[in-house]
Each structure stands twice: as C-alpha cells, then as structure tokens.
Structure 1
C-alpha cells in the first residue's frame, strides 16, 4: 500500500506542479504595458476659385418679314452662372462671324451680325448691337453668385433687312469670367 500511496502522492504532486506551472507561466506571459506618445498635424483645405456657365439656351429663332423687328420677348435666352469668387463675374457675348448666312444652297445673301441686338441686365433695358470680334458684357455682378447659381436672361431683336426668304444663322459665343 505504501507504493500505491506514494504513486498517488507523486501524481497529485505532479498535477499540482502542473497547475502551479501553468499559473506561473500565465503571469509571465501577460502583455507588458505599452509606452505612448502623441503628435499633431495641421489639415489645410485650399479652395480655388471656380466659375461655370450652364443651362445656356441651345438656339432661338426670330421670325418676320423685311422691315419687321421680331424679339425673343417671352422666351429669352437663359443661362446660369455659378462662382465662389467674391469679386464677382461678367458674362459676354459675341457673334462667331461677321454675318448671318442662309441655309439654302445657292443663297448668297447675308445679314450683318451687328443688326442683331441684345438686351440683358448689363444693358439696363436697352438693346445693344453685337459686333464680331468685340465681346459685349450682357451680365455683371460684383459678388459671388448664389450657391445654386444666378439665373441670367437675354432678349434679342433684329430689324430684318431686305434679303431672300431663308433661315440665316450665326453662332453666338457666351463667355463668363471672374473679376
């Protein structure tokens, strides 16, 4: 019996030693406290000036006979200007050619572009002739636009000269720039 008893004591002793060893290992393996340090950075957001011209009416037609002066009237040319430039902006228009030309093959008649007149906010209710090569200011504002943009309209008119019946066209170049 004493051998059996000694074997039990050894097993119990080994079991306890194992538990103690595992417990001792757990305390040795636990994570060490970490050192910390701090720093700062500065966030800079550089906002540049921007300007856009959108929603420009694609085309318009003045219809009449020689001697009549049709106008765009109730359906003016419209556009929207959006800029964050607090100095403001200008909108100009100029014909891309000196003359309006007919669409019918063989028609050599032309209409001088300076017969086409525009009325916009910058003209204060009066019509001004367009001149090829010389942009005309048709809108101006001395501050930034509204966040959603500023709506601008221009009316056009022309006293139709004595020319053949046809549809005469010229491209009008609109440009907006910041002040």
Structure 2
C-alpha cells in the first residue's frame, strides 16, 4: 500500500529534523553563523628610574683686583640648574681640581692657593666658606625632589688677592650633584 501524501510529507519532515539534529551533533550549525570570541588581559608596568642632572653651569668667572683687595662675583654669580626626581633630595658640592691656581704668563712661578677662594651659597646660609683641596664642600642641599623644570642654584665667590705677580691665575672647580 502506498503512503498518503500527507503521511509522506510528515515522514520527510521527520527525516529532515533527524538529519539536522545529527549534523548539529557533529558540530555543524543549521542556523546563522555565531561569531566566536576570546578575551584575556595584561598588566601594564611603568618602571621609573631615578635621575639627577646638573646643567647650565657658568663656564667661567673672573675676580679682578690688586693684591690685598677682596673682589666678589657679586652681580655675576655662578649659576646652575639641578633636576632630580629623587624625593629624598640632593646635595651639590664643589671642590678645586688642584691645590693651586696657576698663572698664564710663561715663567711665572707664583701661584694662588685654591683654599683662598671662598664660596657662599644656600648651604652656607649667606656666609662665605673656604674651598679646600681635595675635600668637596656642600654649596646647596634640598631634602626633596627638585621642581619639574629644575632648581636654580646660585653661588658667589670672593678671594683676598695675595701678593703675587700681575697675571691671570686659573684653576678648575668641579661641581657634583648627588642624590640623597
């Protein structure tokens, strides 16, 4: 006996549903595609190192006078900028590079002892202190970080000129900025 058309349509419908279920079980989708997603996260680290710079140090200064006088840098002080992110602060020191200031004229054996140079600065509270070779002298100190653009440091120098031949006597002064 042959199946009625309704019965045949019902059998085909069941067969289709059975095939779709089998395909879905095998990993095939019968509907619209679904987008897959996956997510994760990462940690951003920013490691900041400590730094200190001493910039803009006055190249040179000249104290001019005759023996027995005490000239100062006065209106033309030695200046520099110290920049640091160290929240404990910093010190700035100065030390003569040699024991004596040496004359420029060939054959001049006179010298001016470096320890006759005196410096004032924030660390001296406005008073002058003698430089001493080879011992660094603190000329500025701060117990915190500098301003973001740096701190301006100013030092004035003076000397009582000893009885030496007329000449230009020269010596190097080494500045060092150190974090605390």
Length-normalised TM-score, structure 1: 0.82
Q: Structure 1 residue 35: deviation in Å?
A: 1.5
User: Is 2:154 aligned against 1:156?
Assistant: no
Q: Distance in 1 between matches of 2:67 and 2:134?
A: 26
Q: Distance in 2 between matches of 1:92 and 1:149?
A: 17
Alpha-carbon displacement from aligned partner over 1:39-97 (angstroms, at most 9, x marks no partner): 00000000011100000000000000000000000110000000000000000000000
Residue 89 of structure 2 corresponds to: 88
Q: Structure 1 residue 34: deviation in Å?
A: 3.4
Q: Structure 1 residue 36: deviation in Å?
A: 1.1
Alpha-carbon displacement from aligned partner over 1:121-151 (angstroms, at most 9, x marks no partner): 0000110000111000000000000000000
Q: Structure 1 residue 33: deviation in Å?
A: 3.7
Aligned length: 149
Q: Distance in 2 between matches of 1:109 and 1:148?
A: 43
Q: Distance in 1 between matches of 2:166 and 2:113?
A: 16
Q: Distance in 1 between matches of 2:36 and 2:107?
A: 89
Q: Distance in 2 between matches of 1:145 and 1:32?
A: 61
- 5+ residue gaps, structure 2, are 1-31
- 5+ residue gaps, structure 1, are 1-30
User: Is 2:133 aligned against 1:132?
Assistant: yes
Length-normalised TM-score, structure 2: 0.81
Secondary structure of the corresponding residue to residue 122 of structure 1 = helix
Runs (4+) off by over 2 Å: 31-34
